[in-house]
């Protein structure tokens, strides 16, 4: 599947905005012909866990809506929003300092923590989106782009394209290879003046 600039501009970017609208409690607006089939949220049981205390509990509970799932004909999109609150920005910065080892690669602690908090909902979104052999696009902006990228490595039988906007660096070279092994259809859009796309610094990705 080749890069589709019209689809990126007319469908994926608006659906990223829709993911933010969900977080803001606004009316959700979808591109013409697209219908919502699901949401990405934090499971209440995670919020209720005793281990989710202090700052960690604030981060996951103060804004628990993270994305939307939409479908048109035989195409589905999972769109994940970026950072919304001061505490979530703190989680972003935690990612800079604390890489964690997963499987044979390293990714950053803060991104991994947020991903875990919405993993069950993302799995449900993936199951919904990938039903009936639909073509699936996973997309996100900023922190949401990092979460979308991690998602590609976690779902079994992935048959999708990954489009990210303003993504930070997520993991080391082995992680990049794992993403590309799951789907060679990866398109990362950045503004070279956007500092978010340049963090964490490459040295922080070394184990």
Please give the average per-residue pLDDT across 95-108, as a whole number. 70
For the cut 70, the answer to whether the pLDDT of residue 86 exceeds it is no
- Within the chain, residue ranges assigned H as helices are 5-7, 13-24, 44-48, 54-61, 86-97, 109-129, 143-154, 173-182
Whether residue 75 is contained in a domain is answered as: yes
Question: For 98-101, which contacts have Cβ atoms below 8 Å and span 24 or more sequence positions?
Answer: 99/172, 99/204, 99/205, 99/207, 101/207
CB half-sphere exposure, 120, CA atoms < 13 A: 7
Residue that wins the pLDDT comparison between 58 and 12: 12
Q: Tens of pLDDT along 174-195?
A: 888 888 888 889 998 876 655 5
In a domain, 28, yes or no: no
Query: What integer best gives the mean pLDDT of the chain?
Result: 79
Range 22-31, long-range pairs (CB < 8 A, 24+ positions): 22/65, 22/67, 22/68, 22/81, 23/63, 23/65, 23/66, 23/81, 23/84, 28/68, 30/70, 31/72
- Report DSSP letters for 121-157, one per residue: HHHHHHHHHTGGG-EEEEEEETHHHHHHHHHHHHSTT
Is residue 30, in this structure, part of any structural domain at all?
Answer: no
Residue 186 domain-assigned (yes or no): yes
Domain holding 151, by residue range, is 5-23+36-138+147-205
High-pLDDT (> 70) share of the chain, %: 71
Q: What was the pLDDT predicted at 198?
A: 55
- Looking at residues 169-174, what average pLDDT do you find? 85
- 12 vs 199, more confident: 12
| Distance from the Cα of residue 105 to its chain's centroid | 18
CB 171 within 8 A of CB 105: yes
Per-residue pLDDT tens for 107-128? 887 788 888 888 999 999 888 8
Residue 49 lies in a domain: yes
Domain count, the chain: 1
| CA 186/CA 200 separation, integer angstroms | 20
Look at residue 133 and tell me if it is in a domain: yes
In a domain, 31, yes or no: no
- Give the whole-angstrom CA distance, residue 104 versus residue 199: 22
Q: What is the pLDDT of residue 67?
A: 95
pLDDT computed for residue 19 by the predictor: 96
Mean pLDDT for 30-42 is: 94
What is the model's pLDDT at position 153? 87
Is 167 or 52 the better-scoring residue by pLDDT?
Answer: 167
Q: What is the CATH number of the domain that holds 189?
A: 3.40.50.1820
- pLDDT at residue 161 is higher than 80: yes
Q: Average pLDDT of 147-152?
A: 92
Residue 204 has pLDDT above 50, yes or no: no
The whole-number average pLDDT for the span 131-141 is 85
Least confident segment among 78-82, 172-176, 198-202: 198-202
């Amino acid at each position: 599947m080749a890069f589709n600039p019209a689809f990126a501009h007319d469908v994926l970017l608006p659906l990223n905005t829709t993911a933010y609208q969900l977080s803001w409690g606004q009316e959700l607006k979808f591109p013409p012909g697209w219908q919502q089939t699901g949401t990405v949220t934090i499971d209440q049981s995670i919020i209720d866990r005793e281990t989710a205390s202090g700052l960690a509990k604030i981060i996951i509970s103060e804004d628990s809506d993270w994305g939307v799932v939409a479908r048109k004909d035989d195409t589905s999109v999972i769109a994940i929003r970026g950072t919304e609150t001061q505490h979530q920005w703190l989680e972003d910065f935690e990612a800079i300092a604390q890489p964690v080892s997963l499987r044979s690669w390293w990714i950053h602690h803060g991104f991994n923590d947020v991903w875990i908090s919405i993993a069950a909902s993302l799995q449900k979104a993936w199951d919904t989106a990938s039903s009936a052999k639909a073509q699936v696009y996973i997309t996100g902006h900023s922190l949401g782009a990092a979460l979308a990228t991690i998602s590609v490595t976690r779902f079994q039988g992935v048959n999708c394209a990954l489009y990210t906007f303003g993504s930070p660096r997520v993991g080391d070279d082995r992680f990049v290879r794992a993403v590309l092994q799951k789907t060679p259809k990866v398109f990362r859009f950045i503004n070279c003046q956007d500092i978010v796309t340049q963090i964490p610094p490459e040295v922080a990705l070394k184990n």
